[in-house]
């Protein structure tokens, strides 16, 4: 899967009104701080036009070959990972609403 940040940064630079969005980004595949930093930077550079989908992924093949990443089999198991990602995003957003 391709990283959505680079292509969206290009689109942000070429436009000034379009809303920028991602499909669902699988939270367990990237360190929360790295993901939050990249997406927050893109949101700031685009003037707050970024809308992010954050999830756990569901396809078993998505997790194949990813060392140390365990696929959650229930919503209850995914809550700590999604919660950690959201708390990290909150710290990077400096109190601004998440889009």
pLDDT at residue 5 is higher than 70? yes
Asked if 44 and 94 count as a contact pair (C-beta separation under 8 A), the reply is no
Which residues are within 8 A (CB) of 84 and not within 5 positions of it... i.e. 6 or more apart?
Answer: 32
At 38, list the tokens.
């990249």
88 — pLDDT class (breaks 50, 70, 90): confident
- Please give the model's pTM, rounded to 2 decimal places: 0.74
The Cα–Cα gap between 63 and 96 comes to 32
3-state secondary structure of 59: coil
Which residues are within 8 A (CB) of 72 and not within 5 positions of it... i.e. 6 or more apart?
Answer: 28, 56, 78, 81
- What is the percent of the chain where pLDDT is above 70? 79
């Amino acid at each position: 899967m391709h990283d959505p940040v680079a292509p969206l940064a290009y689109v942000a630079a070429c436009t000034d009104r379009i809303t920028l969005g991602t499909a669902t980004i699988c939270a367990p595949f990237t360190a929360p701080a790295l993901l939050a930093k990249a997406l927050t930077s893109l949101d700031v550079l685009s003037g707050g036009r970024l809308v992010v989908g954050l999830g756990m992924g569901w396809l078993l093949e998505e997790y194949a070959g990813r060392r140390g990443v365990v696929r959650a089999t229930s919503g209850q198991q995914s809550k700590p990972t999604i919660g950690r990602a959201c708390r990290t995003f909150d710290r990077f957003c400096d109190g601004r609403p998440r889009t």
